[in-house]
């Protein structure tokens, strides 16, 4: 590439250290597509003839076919995906191939390839996020009437529907999808035509190229265009946060599948055994997903650290953006796919969840609300129920075993109607506020998500 300036060949060690084709070959489809659009712009600028452009396009499509068929040999000495393809094109079609790089640099070329790759990858991840949401909704529907304790501080708090718990993750994933769709809009601008950093005296129709490549517009500052990796950092954050959400769900699944909880049973197809202990059934999918979330966060941190000290414009450090990007896309994509499959095979152990929800202390807040509705200030009601809980602990009785007279020792606001309150189904039905887990609300939300996810 630079033999006119240099009189010594590049050291073999430097070649091995600096090559990126071992991983950026993944960009081949987008590199070829961008080059075809660029060749058409060169025709409009009078640099290429129509015949030369057609020869270039035919040659590039032939190279793409060979790559997809596994017949293309990537050469480390050519450093990256761009030069491997351009070199092979020139070998196949001659001088027309050598004209292709007119008015562009590898700086704006890689910036374009990366945006095309990210755009396509976001579309694929969005499909998988929606599939994961569908798996959760389907599992929630299968267990629409199953009850379980809701937890804070990993201590039983109040009764909820199992479906309501799963739908919490559907909401999280919807925010993830929204962030990805928003990031896609921001990244969908064309940097090609920015050159190495200052454009070119050979002026190309960048708007035409943007239309050819389905970009919404073109970048407006050539220096920013070739050095901008904000879009990759933003996507890595979105991927990492989606991974964190899957990790939280993983933790719930791991707890629920334990003998101590036994709220769910995972299928044999999505668990593993022990090489030593024959009784074991391990939730490996959830554990691996919990672990891989750290990898996604690490990829984000690595890129941000790379970017933080870079001067304008392109610096070779930016080569370090691609491996974390590729890894995060592949890691998250597989995690979403396998987790959705696992959730589809997950069964709820209703006797266990019912038994856990039968703990009368889960209705302590309901009793406080009962007093409030009788005219007691909440802070006083809270204190009364706290003393009532302590009394139950000292006497070994439950709320259900206390008489009306026992209740009235703590507050004269209690009457016989208190006993009607101490039922889980009554407590759930009373939670009718927007977003609360009444059966009616949960059914409506399931209908909402079924409609949204069928589109």
Active site residues: 153, 274
Query: Closest Cα to residue 415, out of 377, 370, 369?
Result: 370
CA distances 212 to 29, 85, 207, 217, Å, are 15, 20, 9, 11
CA distances 12 to 15, 85, 430, Å, are 5, 21, 74
How far apart are alpha carbons 423 and 360 in whole angstroms? 8
Residues 6+ apart with CB under 8 A from 18: 79, 316, 319
Query: 10 Å Cβ neighbour count for 39?
Result: 22
Radius of gyration from C-alpha coordinates of the chain = 30
Beta bridge partners of 218: 190
How far apart are alpha carbons 99 and 93 in whole angstroms? 11
Query: Please, are residues 103 and 43 in contact by the beta-carbon 8 Å criterion?
Result: no
Query: Please, are residues 343 and 250 in contact by the beta-carbon 8 Å criterion?
Result: no
Strands (E), 241-283: 264-265
How far apart are alpha carbons 232 and 91 in whole angstroms? 34
User: 287: burial class by Cβ within 10 Å (0-12, 13-18, 19+)?
Assistant: middle
How far apart are alpha carbons 374 and 385 in whole angstroms? 14
- Kindly provide the b/e burial profile for residues 234-267, where b requires at least 16 CB atoms within 10 angstroms of the residue's own CB: bbbbbbbbbbbbbbebbebbbbbbeeebebbbbe
Query: Please, are residues 227 and 137 in contact by the beta-carbon 8 Å criterion?
Result: no
How far is residue 264 CA from its own chain's centroid? 25
CA distances 157 to 148, 150, 249, 383, 384, Å, are 10, 5, 19, 17, 18
Q: Give the residue carrying structure tokens 């650290």.
A: 305
């Amino acid at each position: 590439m630079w033999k006119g300036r240099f009189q010594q060949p590049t050291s073999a060690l430097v070649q091995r250290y600096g090559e990126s084709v071992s991983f950026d070959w993944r960009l081949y489809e987008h590199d070829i597509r961008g080059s075809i659009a660029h060749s058409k712009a060169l025709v409009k600028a009078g640099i290429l003839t129509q015949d030369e452009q057609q020869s270039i396009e035919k040659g590039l499509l032939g190279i793409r076919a060979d790559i997809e068929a596994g017949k293309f040999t990537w050469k480390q000495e050519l450093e990256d995906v761009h030069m491997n393809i351009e070199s092979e094109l020139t070998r196949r079609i001659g001088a027309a191939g050598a004209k292709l790089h007119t008015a562009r640099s590898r700086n704006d070329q890689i910036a374009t390839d990366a945006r095309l790759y990210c755009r396509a990858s976001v579309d694929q991840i969005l499909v998988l996020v929606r599939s994961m949401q569908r798996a959760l909704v389907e599992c929630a529907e299968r267990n629409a009437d199953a009850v379980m304790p809701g937890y804070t501080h990993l201590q039983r708090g109040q009764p909820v529907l199992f479906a309501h718990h799963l739908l919490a993750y559907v909401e999280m994933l919807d925010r993830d999808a929204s962030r990805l769709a928003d990031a896609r809009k921001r990244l969908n601008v064309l940097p090609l035509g920015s050159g190495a950093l200052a454009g070119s005296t050979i002026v190309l129709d960048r708007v035409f190229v943007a239309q050819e490549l389905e970009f919404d517009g073109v970048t407006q500052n050539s220096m920013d265009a070739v050095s901008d990796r904000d879009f990759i950092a933003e996507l890595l954050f979105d991927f990492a946060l989606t991974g964190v959400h899957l990790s939280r769900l993983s933790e719930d699944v791991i707890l629920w599948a334990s003998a101590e909880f036994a709220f769910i049973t995972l299928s044999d197809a999505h668990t593993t055994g022990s090489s030593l202990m024959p009784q074991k059934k391990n939730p490996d999918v959830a554990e691996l997903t919990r672990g891989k979330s750290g990898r996604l966060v690490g990829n984000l941190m690595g890129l941000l650290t790379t970017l933080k000290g870079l001067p304008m414009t392109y610096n070779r450090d930016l080569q370090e953006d691609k491996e974390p990007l590729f890894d995060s896309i592949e890691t998250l994509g597989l995690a979403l796919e396998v987790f959705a499959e696992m959730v589809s095979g997950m069964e709820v152990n209703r006797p266990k969840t019912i038994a856990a929800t039968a703990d009368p202390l889960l209705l302590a807040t309901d009793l406080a609300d009962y007093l409030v509705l009788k005219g007691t200030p909440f802070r006083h009601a809270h204190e009364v129920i706290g003393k009532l809980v302590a009394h139950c602990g000292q006497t070994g009785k439950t709320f259900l075993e206390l008489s009306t007279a026992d209740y009235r020792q703590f507050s004269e606001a209690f009457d016989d109607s208190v006993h009607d309150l101490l039922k889980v189904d009554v407590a759930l039905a009373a939670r009718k506020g927007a977003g609360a887990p009444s059966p009616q609300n949960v059914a409506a939300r399931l209908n909402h998500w079924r409609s949204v996810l069928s589109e």
